[in-house]
Amino acid sequence: MADVPKPNIDRVTYWRKTIRRSLILLTVWFVVGYGMSIFLAEPLNAINFGGIPLGFWMAQQGSIFVFVALILIYVLSMQQLDREAGVEEVESELSPPPSSH
């Protein structure tokens, strides 16, 4: 069995960082999803984005792009944090799916 690297952070720090990252991303989600798409739609409509009012574009397309980006940011940042904590999943350690026989 290969040597397991010693974690650089403890369990409490790991969860504190996880919660902090989640709260930051949820705050961005709220600002974009509700702030820019609903509450600030009228002022943003004064700005055109590709010939379309920005408030309308954010409500219809922009918020979706931001949400997908938030998912990607979460996955990448948690992979980095898992490596730092020594709890990352290694592909070779995963068991194969059970056979259907």
Across the chain, which distance is largest between two alpha carbons, in Å? 63
Kindly provide the b/e burial profile for residues 22-57, where b requires at least 16 CB atoms within 10 angstroms of the residue's own CB.
eeebeebeeebbeebbeeebeebeeeeeeeebbbeb
Per-residue pLDDT of the chain (101 residues; tens, 9 = 90+): 455 566 678 889 999 999 999 999 999 999 998 888 888 889 989 999 889 898 888 888 888 999 999 999 999 999 999 988 888 777 665 666 677 66
Joined tokens for residue 59 = 């409500």
User: CA of 83: how far to CAs of 2, 19, 38, in Å?
Assistant: 16, 17, 38
What residues contact residue 56 under an 8 Å CB cut-off, 6+ apart? 41, 45
- Quote the pTM value: 0.74
Residue extents of the structural domains in the chain:
28-88
